[in-house]
Amino acid sequence: MAFLQGKLPCFCVLILCMAVLVSSHNRYYTSPSVPRLTDAFPRVPISNGFSKAFGGSNIQVINGSMATLALDKSSGSGLASVNKYHYGFFSAAIKLPAGLTSGVVVAFYLSNADVFPHNHDEIDIELLGHDKRNDWVIQTNVYANGSVNTGREEKFYLWFDPTQQQHQYSIIWNNHHIVFLVDNIPVREFQHSGSFFPSKPMSVYATIWDASQWATHGGKYPVNYKYAPFRVSFAEMEMSGCISNPTGTVTSCSKNTPSSLDPIEGPEFVKLSNQQISALGWARSKLMFYSYCKDTSRFKVMPPECK
């Protein structure tokens, strides 16, 4: 410690600056106040509302209301909703795996690729693992009418450590817009303004899987199975909307919810409130670090909604 003699004040300042940088990098902000839409709808027991889609041995359902999904060398795992939905409000409380999770993707999304393999729709919340730190990334994406070659990704840092406890990740999907929310904070709104918009009934999925090819820094850091199994928990599942029958026609809509809110045409869902618009601006200014609408190297001609 002799080299520190006479230099302790400077050394302490350096440590303080490093701590500030780490805190800033982790972005542990206090989020704005917004309406708690997740309190408006009933929760669906996983044992009733979902079936095992793949990796059955890596899925554990606890008391019917919570599931842990695992990724190991043998397989990832996933759940699929029993019903298909045509618009609605969809939410899950998710606790992400801790530790080194490069290449790991946890997803909560809607898709109809099982029914329309060449012309499918998809609305994605994908949580991308990290290479060194606990700064998981949330990627949102929209596909419509089979346009899988043109993703519409936006990426955000989270403002909390998602491995410490469950946080709510939600999707509003109706004929007016798609809204992605984290802990009820809107982080992205995709408005229905043209032909590119998901329109066919979709299932709800909860999955964990190996995306080594692209998930962490473009595939630079693959999954390190030395740290496996990677376990994620899903709970507080909410799926309120129009349920479709096997022919694709709507059979019922959950408009008579306990709060009388309607995720299809209710005023709280077809348009963001001023409070939500302010929170959306906060999230996008502080946390968004990639938007396809600003990727001129990828798009020589921007998609029409970017204009």
Residues recognised as catalytic: 122, 126
Of 268, 250, 251, nearest to 259 (Cα)?
268
CA 275 to the chain's CA centroid? 21
| Residue 279 phi, psi (nearest 5) | -65, -35
**How far apart (Å, rounded) are the C-alpha atoms in residues 202 and 114?**
9
CA 290 to the chain's CA centroid? 15
**How far apart (Å, rounded) are the C-alpha atoms in residues 260 and 240?**
12
Residue 147: other Cβ atoms inside 10 A: 16
Residues linked to residue 91 through DSSP beta bridges, in sequence order: 170, 238
Tell me how many degrees the CA angle 21-24-29 measures, rounded to the nearest 5: 160
Residue 105's Cβ-count burial label (10 Å; 0-12, 13-18, 19+) is: buried
